[in-house]
Structure 1
Amino acid sequence: MQLGCIKIVRYMSELGAIMVLAIIGSFFGLIGGIIIIYNKKLRGVLSKYSIPFAAGILVTVALMGILPEAVDMAGESVFSTMLYSFMGAYLFEHLLFSIHHHERGEKGVHFDTAVPLVIVGDTIHNFIDGVAIAATYIASPGLGVITAISTFLHEVPHEVGDFGILLKAGLSNSKVILINLFSACATIFGALIIYYVPQNNMVIGHLLAIAGGLFLYLGATDFLPHIHDVNISKNKAMASLVIGVILMVSILSIIPHAHPNQLIDVPVPPSDVISEMSEDVDVFSPR
């Protein structure tokens, strides 16, 4: 009975922690979008400095946090999984861009098409964030916290862009907020699915590699190329990038990486040793 209670407490505490981190990574990220509606001055600051900062965060977490953890749990096979994840993200974004491009009219983008594309793309993106948060937390609670923080930091500039497109399409402030709240729920859904996946080192390791490939893609292709597009000097943009890298390196070195759920490989003794042990037991057993 006592063992059962301990298992229930452990079950609830781990699931609760994953849910809290998923909420931090998704719903808190909506702050960036809400700011674009109610505070134009702060919106300008976010659009200038958050993109290079998020680029540094994402690339560092992918290469120095998630990838080493994946290798530790599933071996070097995760490198190919990370590559496939990176390429899959590129192909998916290319497909969305192609659909969007083919729906352009003479006067520019058809917002009737842009709106569902933004919603679908953002929902899938949030789902993947939930997968990343849950997988990293299961591998190491400390890394899960870092992933949630990284998700929040890159969601802020991402939501600024999404809110801008939806507002330009003519949607009201309340509708834009509700749409993004609904989309953010996909993070929790993704985290729940991964939590109930059979947890062994190989599965979690490859899930980490998928998350790492996606984070690397976001940082290297979605954020880094746009650093020079922001309306600040190159030195300030580079400083924001470097600060993001240094901050994540510091956090990764401070937060411990424990493996609470990592399976322990117990060595099995040879068959002759087992037979000798059983004979010894027979000798001392009561007649």
Structure 2
Amino acid sequence: MSPSVAALLSVLGISLVSLAGVFTLSLGRARLERVIFLLVSFAVGAMLGGALLHLIPESYDALGEGPQTGLLVLAGVVAFFVLEKFLHWRHQHGAPEALDGATGHVHHGHSHGLDRPPQGEAAPFALVNLVGSVAHNVIDGAIVAAAYLVSIQTGVVTTLAVMLHEIPQEIGNFGVLVYGGYPPRKALLYNFVAGLGGLVGAGLVLALGGSVEGLADWLLPITAGAFLYIAGSDLIPELNRRHSYPATKAVGQLVMMLLGIAVMALPLLWG
């Protein structure tokens, strides 16, 4: 299988994760919160492992031992900080309004800090969340495609890291759309369409990859910086803020985080 076909299939698989929200409608709020906190912990380990065990070492192999790789990793961190500020991305992994929406238990008149619209209308924050999700998925698709241009193994590792992060993210996005006034079926459709933005990002990178020398090599450390930023700025603080106590939850976090790192370490055995 060619890297281009593998990249497009992987991005399509990631896009299908946007349908995960439908399964939350049968869960109670307490059960969903437990599931999400475990998924977020696992995603933290996967993103840190992907960045530190694969992307950064491979960047040094491709770009040499100078400061270039470190500067590009920092550029990735700064770029995602700016993007998050500009797009107002909200990582709704444990927010009450996202949990209420994802389980279908939306109570009008109780806003949890967000202004809900009248019944039958959609709130502006839901549209902003949808636009941010499209941009997010375009970037994810570009990241995955660039990784496949380096090697199949790098592409698979990057796909796993992105996909594991996307599961709780897409559940949160679905919950925000429902909480913002969209019917569950329409929210699911819009979330899936937003997820297809990844194919746009992948297509752009694959089209440019052959004409821009070293494009994939430059994107690898930037991707590593993005993973480090998302894990350190969005996911770990979310876990510390909502799920650190009692001690059993902290232990559960650690176990799932180590499991995520272990999953990313496995490809090293056959690399």
In 1: Cα distance, 2:8 partner to 2:52 partner? 25
Percent identity over paired residues: 24
The secondary structure found in structure 1 opposite 2:196 is: helix
Per the alignment, residue 12 of structure 2 pairs with 23
- Give the superposition deviation at 1:31: 4.4
**What does residue range 70-109 of structure 1 map to in structure 2 within 5 Å?**
70-75=59-64, 76=66, 77-97=68-88, 108-109=113-114
Distance 1:233 1:14 in 2: 40
Partner residue in 1 for 2:262: 246
Deviation at 1:40, TM superposition (A): 3.6
Partner of residue 212, structure 1: 224
Report the 3-state secondary structure (helix = DSSP H, G, I; strand = E; otherwise coil) of the residue aligned with 1:233. helix
| From 34, 45, 49, the counterpart of 1:60 | 49
**Matched residue SS, 2:181:** coil
Tell me by how many angstroms 1:201 deviates. Answer: 5.9
Cα separation, 1, equivalents of 2:270 and 2:229: 24
Match of 2:115 in 1: 110
- 1:37 maps to 2:25: yes
How big is the alpha-carbon RMSD for the aligned residues of Structure 1 and Structure 2? 2.3
8 A Cα contact 2:4 2:145, kept in partner: no
Q: Secondary structure of the equivalent of 2:208?
A: coil
Question: Whole-Å Cα distance in 2 between the matches of residues 58 and 22 of structure 1?
Answer: 17
How far apart, CA to CA, are the structure 1 residues paired with 2:270 and 2:176? 37
Aligned residue type for 2:221: A
C-alpha contact 1:30 1:159 (8 A) present in aligned 2: yes
| CA distance in structure 1 between the aligned counterparts of 2:231 and 2:168, rounded to whole angstroms | 12
Structure with higher Rg: it is 1
User: Structure 2: how far apart are the matches of 1:98 and 1:173?
Assistant: 21
The answer as to whether partners of 1:26 and 1:151 remain within 8 angstroms in 2 is no
SS in 2 for 1:171: coil
Q: Is the 8 A contact 1:59 1:219 kept in 2?
A: yes
- Give the TM-score normalised by the residue count of structure 2: 0.79
Q: Which SS does the other structure have where 1:237 is aligned? A: helix
The aligned amino acid for 1:86 is V
1:206 CA displacement:
0.9
List aligned pairs for 1:263-278, cutoff 5 A.
none
Q: CA deviation at 1:137?
A: 0.8
- Identify the match of residue 126 of structure 1 among 137, 142, 145: 137
SS at match of 1:196: helix
- Counterpart Cα distance in 2 of 1:89 and 1:238: 26
Distance 1:160 1:244, change over 3 A: same
Normalising by the residue count of structure 1, what TM-score does the alignment of the two structures yield?
A: 0.75
TM superposition shift of 1:187:
0.7
Equivalent positions of 1:135-284 (< 5 A) are 135-199=146-210, 202-228=214-240, 229-230=242-243, 233-249=249-265, 251-256=266-271
Cα shift at 1:142 = 0.8
Taking a change above 3 Å as real, the CA distance of residues 210 and 119 of structure 1, as seen in their structure-2 partners, is same
Q: Distance in 2 between matches of 1:98 and 1:65?
A: 27
Letter in 1 for 2:18: L
